[in-house]
Amino acid sequence: MFLSKSKFLNDFAKKRGGHFAAGKIISGTDFESSIPILRELNHQGLSTTVDYLGEFVDSKEVANVRTDECIKTIKMIHQERLDSHMSVKMTSLGLDIDRQLVIDNMTRILDTAEKYGIMVTIDMEDSPRCQATIDLFKQFKEKYDCVSTVLQAYLYRTEQDLQALSAYKPFLRLVKGAYKEPAEVAYPEKKDVDDHYKKLIEQSFHYGLYTAVATHDDNIIEYTKELAATLNIPHDQFEFQMLYGMRSQTQLELVEQGYKMRIYVPYGHDWYGYFMRRLAERPANIAFAFKGFIKK
Ligand SMILES: Cc1cc2nc3c(=O)[nH]c(=O)nc-3n(C[C@H](O)[C@H](O)[C@H](O)COP(=O)(O)OP(=O)(O)OC[C@H]3O[C@@H](n4cnc5c(N)ncnc54)[C@H](O)[C@@H]3O)c2cc1C
């Protein structure tokens, strides 16, 4: 988790990115090479959300170029008739540089997304950026229907955030949370995170929000199925989400059982931070990819 924020290792990894493109958790280094993968997922009944990898951008020029790439991607999702949303991180559009920069960049993205009817989800990053991300979401949601966001079960604050966001009727992705957070702000124990996650799913159903339960955890998935059945929540009011390359068989089984399933598909050269968080979460699952990277 600590290494996932190393700029030196990130730059080094970018140079080796081409070799890594074959990795099973990233679809390609550019959007064009990801299209066949997205098409195949759609063909299997899986919806997608694409993520142009990159975060914690510290230059205005890079943030603007990244915005252009997101706009191009949204246009291509439309042109290629893919069943896909797009996910973006506010730090990749300039959140750490200047608030107005991120507003201008995201406005350009949402103008395009609205024109083509593509949903854009604002990923949630680490806790120091949580309030700013929520504030930006609220501001954009006043103007655009096609914007959604994410809340993290490991943060103590999330029940209040969910309550506050419920008035905006968002398409809401719930996750456990992927960053290393101190005990002052986040539950240190997995059991408490899981319990809180279940509570949030129930709360989200209660508010009538379209709820995306983004997890690979069978325990949470089973809980969601049972809760939805008990509360008579129709299958078009919620969905499951998983990361590309993780539990592929389970993804298909959920579709066969009649649930909506969306796959988060990352692409781009800037794969290092994403990769390291996945490695920290479940080393065994992506050890094969890491081995391949070291060998080349
Ligand atoms: C679609 C999607 C979007 C996300 N967006 C964000 C975001 O915006 N912000 C953010 O902070 N985090 C995000 N995350 C990451 C998330 O917060 C977690 O870090 C990540 O999903 C790991 O937690 P988990 O719920 O999958 O279960 P874990 O707690 O990692 O695992 C629980 C159990 O699930 C099973 N399991 C997990 N993975 C596998 C596997 N690959 N194969 C077999 N069994 C497995 C195991 O039994 C494991 O013990 C996202 C995750 C997904 C799926």
**Torsion angle, CA of 208/223/161/242, rounded to 10 degrees?**
-100
**What confidence score (pLDDT) does residue 99 get?**
95
Q: Which helix (H) or strand (E) holds 295?
A: helix 283-295
Using CB distances shorter than 6 Å, the residues near ligand 1 are: 123-124, 150, 152, 175-179, 214-217, 241-243, 246-247, 264, 281-282, 285
CA of 61 to the centre of ligand 1 (A): 32
> Taking residues 101-120, what's their average pLDDT?
98
- On the question of pLDDT at 20 being above 60, the answer is no
> Taking residues 87-108, what's their average pLDDT?
97
| Cβ-based neighbours of 187, under 8 Å, separated by 6 or more | 154, 156, 193, 196
**What confidence score (pLDDT) does residue 294 get?**
44
Two structure tokens written together for 124: 């949630």
Mean pLDDT estimate for the chain: 91
Among 175, 191, 244, the mutation site with the greatest number of ligand 1 atoms within 8 A of its Cβ is 175
**What confidence score (pLDDT) does residue 71 get?**
98
Count, residues in the chain: 296
Query: What is the C-alpha separation between 133 and 159, in angstroms, rounded?
Result: 16
Q: What percent of the chain has pLDDT over 90?
A: 79
CA of 126 to the centre of ligand 1 (A): 16
**What confidence score (pLDDT) does residue 23 get?**
64
Least confident window among 13-22, 25-34, 176-185: 13-22
Per the confidence metrics, is the pTM higher than 0.95? no
> Taking residues 170-176, what's their average pLDDT?
98
209-268 confidence digits (pLDDT tens): 999 999 999 999 999 999 999 999 999 999 999 999 999 999 999 999 999 999 999 999
Q: Provide the pairing of β-strand 238-243 with 47-52.
A: unpaired
Would you place residue 295 in the very low, low, confident or very high pLDDT band (cuts 50, 70, 90)? very low
CA of 218 to the centre of ligand 1 (A): 11
> Taking residues 149-168, what's their average pLDDT?
98
Sign of the four-CA dihedral 222, 253, 262, 17? positive
- On the question of pLDDT at 296 being above 60, the answer is no
